[in-house]
Chains A and B, each alone.
Chain A
Amino acid sequence: MRKLSENILDKISIDFLRNQVLKNAYGNDDTVIAKLDPRILLVWYLFFGLVPWFLNDVVLLLGIFIFVALTTRAARIAPLVLFLFCIGVFSQTGYLFIVALFFGGNTETIVPLLIMTLKVAVVSLASITVFSGLDPDRLANGMLWFGCPGQLSFSISFAYRILPVLMEEFQNILLSYRLRGNPPSKNGLAGKIRYLAYQIRMIIQAFYPLMLNTAKRSRTTVEALELRGYRHSIQNPEVKKMKLAMLKVTRADLIFVCISIVWVCASFGASAAL
């Protein structure tokens, strides 16, 4: 048991987290999904993110679920993201089932909850495919094309760039606090609680220097943006057109759309037949 918990703690170190996020963002730009046009994928997501909410047929939902599971596999998503997805689905509907049993529900409660779980799973797998499978810059360009505010697409590109830096800095600050601090002993239940409280307090205190450092960095960032005329350029249609000229719909996109349509139609056929 102790070994297991140590193993898990080993896995969720900050380094591991950083690697996973980086891998997720930039590590898989050679997959089938990453090569597709971001605009097509966003339209695709609009369909698979909205339509499942209005379907109530188990077979149909299962068919769509298998399809988005395949696309997720094609996008080669990092394991951490998939793990978080499983936890998310369970925490959204799985615990509701247990509570419903507690309040006198029976096995009939399973069917509506299974439908709801499938809906949630389809929608989040579709979003994982699109938002994790795509290169962040391509994703930002696709969103910009659909008229999303320039701030949002800037935030996406900026977030992926700044996150590894911020994580490293946070880890350094945390380590320096740890070197200087004197943690309480972990003996007994009271000691464990005190130790946990100490750890959390340290994390919160670590944000004090981090805030000051990030303030300096964000000023530098904004001043660099201003020097290049950022605020003028996000309002200028000429600049936008130049920026989006790289987006092209290719034959691979059409094939992907056709496969999606055929699969959804087949699922409908299966649900009608059964």
Chain B
Amino acid sequence: MNSQNKISQSQKLMVFVLSMSLYGLATLFTELIPSFQVGIVEFSVEYFLFIPLTLAMLFDPLSAGLGAATGELVFSEIMLGQFGGLGELEKFITVTIGVYIAGRLVKNPRNRAVVAGASIFGVFIQQFMGCIVDILKVQFAVEDFEAVAGLPESVFFTEGFACLNDVLFSGILFCMLPTMFLVPKLYGKIEPLLGMKPRDEKTVLGSGGVSAKTVGICVIGFIAAVAAELLATGGFELIDWEASWAESTPAMIVAIIAAAVVALIVIGVVRSRAKVDKAA
């Protein structure tokens, strides 16, 4: 424990490892808990986000958020082979930001009202960004999105409904209530295990937890998130636009052969680099 109430690098790594393993375990379970389908309304235990939320409110929020996102990626996506490539980046960013903002909002972990408000706000941010990205993803993946009868409305409806459903059902039941229960209970007990002081007004933001500063950081984080999402979808658009000249099959074949050649060149570089490394 150092005198300046600062969190050391190794303690950040501890929070990262803790958040990663716990949330990873929980997501592995939620992958397997069945969901009830009542008509088109789906009631499912969407996720156990209360674990990183609790940790973010007690420890360094950024490490907890990053750890949770990594844990989900590694445990439930890579281990079970459900790694979706680009799509995982979006979930990684949204989970990190949601948890980070929720953790930043709490100054006194013993205040249950603040804890509850912050956790539901974090869930809402995460779900809302995920919802927007989902709608855009379907729009770009299906050719002639507008032309398919009934598809646009159904996508907007199901995604919007899923978002609302997740916030109200999973958000309250599986994030807000457990966080309200766990944060005050763990406060002061779990910190000494990692060799830290419990969070209070002095330790929350280094020197003096000014709320304006917190809000400013949140806004910057949010803008960064939106920018990242726009960049990701912009990338989709760019590739989509490039592909539109290749409507004829021969052009497509040429493109694929070019891609194969590029892949081969990459492999060649890999080999030569391996050789150079061996020689060096």
Contacts and interface: CB of A to CB of B under 8 A. Distances in A.
Contact of B182 (A96, A207, A248): A207
B85 A50 contact: yes
Q: Indicate the size class of the contact surface on chain B.
A: 35 or more
Contacts of B257: 265
Contacts of A80: 80
A265 B77 CA distance: 30
A127 B66 CA distance: 23
B259 A17 contact: no
The dominant DSSP class at the A interface is helix
Contacts of B185: 208
A147 B267 CA distance: 16
Interface string B73-117: 011011111111110000000000000000000000000000000
Interface string A130-165: 111000000100000000000110011011101100
Nearest to A169: B25
A99 B10 contact: no
Interface string A234-273: 0000000100110111000000010001001100100110
Contacts of A205: 181
A51 B143 contact: no
Contact of A216 (B81, B193, B250, B264): B193
B17 A218 contact: yes
Contacts of A76: none
A190 interface: no
Interface string A88-113: 10000001101111111110110011
Interface in B42-93: 45, 48, 50-51, 54-55, 70-71, 74-75, 77-86
A105 B45 CA distance: 30
A122 B240 CA distance: 19
Given A127-B82, A261-B260, A152 B70 contact: yes
A272 B81 contact: no
B22 interface: yes
A70 interface: no
A142 to B, nearest CB: 10
B32 A103 contact: no
B21 A214 contact: yes
Interface of B: 9-10, 13-14, 16-18, 20-22, 24-26, 28-29, 31-32, 40, 45, 48, 50-51, 54-55, 70-71, 74-75, 77-86, 138, 141-144, 148-151, 153-155, 157-158, 173-174, 178, 181-182, 185-186, 189-190, 193-195, 239-240, 243, 249-250, 252-253, 256-257, 259-260, 263-264, 266-267, 270-271, 274, 277-278
Interface of A: 12, 17, 21, 24-25, 39-40, 43-44, 46-47, 49-51, 53-57, 77, 80-81, 84-85, 88, 95-96, 98-106, 108-109, 112-113, 115-116, 119, 123-124, 127-132, 139, 151-152, 155-156, 158-160, 162-163, 166-167, 170, 200, 203-205, 207-208, 210-212, 214-216, 218-219, 221-223, 225-226, 231, 241, 244-245, 247-249, 257, 261, 264-265, 268, 271-272
